[in-house]
Amino acid sequence: MQARELVKRYGDREALRGVSFEALAGEQVAVIGPNGAGKTTLLSILAGIVRPDGGEVAVAGAVGWVPQQAALYRRLTVGENLLLFARLERHPDPRASCEEMLELTGLGERRGEIVARLSGGNQQRINIAIGLLARPAVLLLDEPSVGLDPRQRARLWEFVSGLAGGGTTVVFSTHDIQEAERYGGRLLVLADGEALFDGSPGELREAVRREAPEAADRDFETAFVAYLQHRGH
């Protein structure tokens, strides 16, 4: 996936100001930054939901999108949701695709349960499974772990890492810096619509050591905040 010079304006406010980055097959890219940095706008443009005012996106293959809030029909069962979206994706054998996703998410035994009765973690797993129905080369996850307990988070990231291990490019946004460090092979730091940094967690710590040495040996979140402050954000 390649994004070049993406610009998005909402009235007078520039939500994205010439953001560029690329992600390779099997990479896990974490998009991090303070509130209003432009993370959701960037993912929405990459997903094709929002049209950019400038720049372009190139993707080899389909893009799967998993919104922050589960986009599911809560009065349908797990199986009915997956079958509906498999049919809408025009899969040649929607029932087989549905079974495949149930197996992948480990929710096979709960296929007949109404989604509204499932935990937030399980709802998110179905949300991701629906995003995967398009058999995407790139999977976009907008703050996927919000509202999940630590055990559910661990399961979620195990699942996502498995997908990346299978060659799917994963781009996710998060507010949790530790999570970004742990699961993001690469970090894209946004602030006020600008890309401040694009590299591995190790490279970000090196950048902190250069620009804010007093925070270099602190925990990753403190170091990241110091980096932002040094950059005027």
Report the interface residues with other proteins, using CB under 8 A.
Answer: 47-49, 56-63, 65, 67, 69-76, 80, 84-85, 87-90, 114, 130, 134, 138
Q: Which is nearer to other proteins, 7 or 84 (CB)?
A: 84
Q: Which is nearer to other proteins, 13 or 74 (CB)?
A: 74
Q: Which is nearer to other proteins, 40 or 222 (CB)?
A: 40
Taking the C-alpha atoms of residue 181 and residue 44, their distance in angstroms, rounded to an integer, is 23
Question: Please, how many CA atoms are within 13 Å of residue 34, restricted to the half-sphere of its CB?
Answer: 13
Q: How far is the CB of 115 from other proteins (least distance, A)?
A: 10
Q: Which is nearer to other proteins, 60 or 154 (CB)?
A: 60
Taking the C-alpha atoms of residue 102 and residue 118, their distance in angstroms, rounded to an integer, is 14
CB neighbourhood size of 4 (10 A): 14
Q: How far is the CB of 63 from other proteins (least distance, A)?
A: 4
Tokens representing residue 125 in the block = 């797993």
Q: How far is the CB of 54 from other proteins (least distance, A)?
A: 13
Q: How far is the CB of 211 from other proteins (least distance, A)?
A: 35
Residue with tokens 């990346």: 164
Taking the C-alpha atoms of residue 109 and residue 106, their distance in angstroms, rounded to an integer, is 8
